[in-house]
Structure 1
Amino acid sequence: MDREGTLVRSIYYGSIGSEATERLLERFGHEGSFLLRDSETLQGAYCLCVRKAPFVHTYRLMRFADGWCLQHSGVGLRGFGTLEALIEGYRRAAASDVRIPPLTVPLDKTQLQYISPGQVFVYMETCGGGSSSSSIC
């Protein structure tokens, strides 16, 4: 992850599970919000999770000799040199070219803070008037 760009580092949540991911995206995300996490079933792979109500869709990202690709039925294998390039490539892709929900809003983990080891999150959002609000998931 150290060699990846700012976008990937800001949306990479590590080894959180699929249920925690769904709760995060449902509670703090919007249509098209997305994040990156470790795959629970395949070591070294990542999952790109995207909110498209009423579901959170998950796509496995696999590393190959020449880079990364999104592995999903209905999505052609297209290689990218980095995870950041892959995500940006799918963000720019026309909806007709790709069969995944649009990646519109990165769920930036710097806006979330762990408040306990049990993975309870607080979302810190600064309002336009200078006050702040928080919600607990």
Structure 2
Amino acid sequence: MKLPVYHGRISREETEDLLASIGKDGSYLIRDSETVPGAYCLCVLNQTFVHTYRVSETSGKWLVQTLKGVVPRYFSSIEKLLVTYEKPGQGLVVPLLHPVKTNKIQNQNEGEIYLQEEREYMEMLGI
């Protein structure tokens, strides 16, 4: 996955620490699921609690498991999914407001290169 908010294989604890250090409701990132191979987790901070939503792809369509009772919605790309959930009232506890980017560069020849050990918070410039 090549998204600025994708943090790869970081643990739930690392995710919670990172989002807590930012401290803004609506801060979010995507990481690999620790329990479901091939799935991702959309992690969102709201009032010091990190809410985790499973994100998966089936037959080229992306789905996020939202609040109970919300009709599932499918998206042609994860970017479209993220843009939709930036708006209030879409089924998440809080809209996606503050993307937490990773400090990795994707290089086709060399793989992932870490620019620095710590991740920093930056505003996303659009998807």
Per the normalisation by structure 2, the TM-score is 0.77
**How far apart are 1:108 and its partner, in Å?**
1.5
The 1:64/1:52 distance shift into structure 2, 3 A limit, reads same
Give the aligned partner of residue 51 of structure 2. 57
**How far apart are 1:12 and its partner, in Å?**
0.2
Does structure 1 residue 81 correspond to structure 2 residue 76? yes
Matched residue SS, 1:59: strand
Gaps spanning 5+ residues in structure 1: where? 3-8, 116-120, 126-137
Aligned with 1:98 (options 76, 88, 91): 91
Q: Which has the higher Rg, Structure 1 or Structure 2?
A: 1
The 1:25/1:41 distance shift into structure 2, 3 A limit, reads same
**How far apart are 1:23 and its partner, in Å?**
0.2
Matched residue SS, 1:44: coil
Structure 1 CA distance for aligned equivalents of residues 6 and 31 of structure 2: 6
Give the aligned partner of residue 44 of structure 1. 38
Identical amino acids, percent of aligned pairs: 38
The 1:113/1:22 distance shift into structure 2, 3 A limit, reads farther
Aligned with 1:110 (options 103, 106, 110): 103
Partner AA of 1:82 in structure 2: S
Matched residue SS, 1:26: helix
**How far apart are 1:18 and its partner, in Å?**
0.4
User: What is the CA deviation profile of residues 9-38 of structure 1, one whole-angstrom value per residue up to 9, with x for unaligned ones?
Assistant: 110000101000000000124111000000
The 1:28/1:54 distance shift into structure 2, 3 A limit, reads closer
Gaps spanning 5+ residues in structure 2: where? 105-113, 123-127
The 1:76/1:114 distance shift into structure 2, 3 A limit, reads farther
The structure with more helix, counted as a fraction of residues = 1
**How far apart are 1:63 and its partner, in Å?**
1.0
Equivalenced residues, count:
112
Matched residue SS, 2:24: coil
Q: Name the Cα RMSD after superposition.
A: 2.3
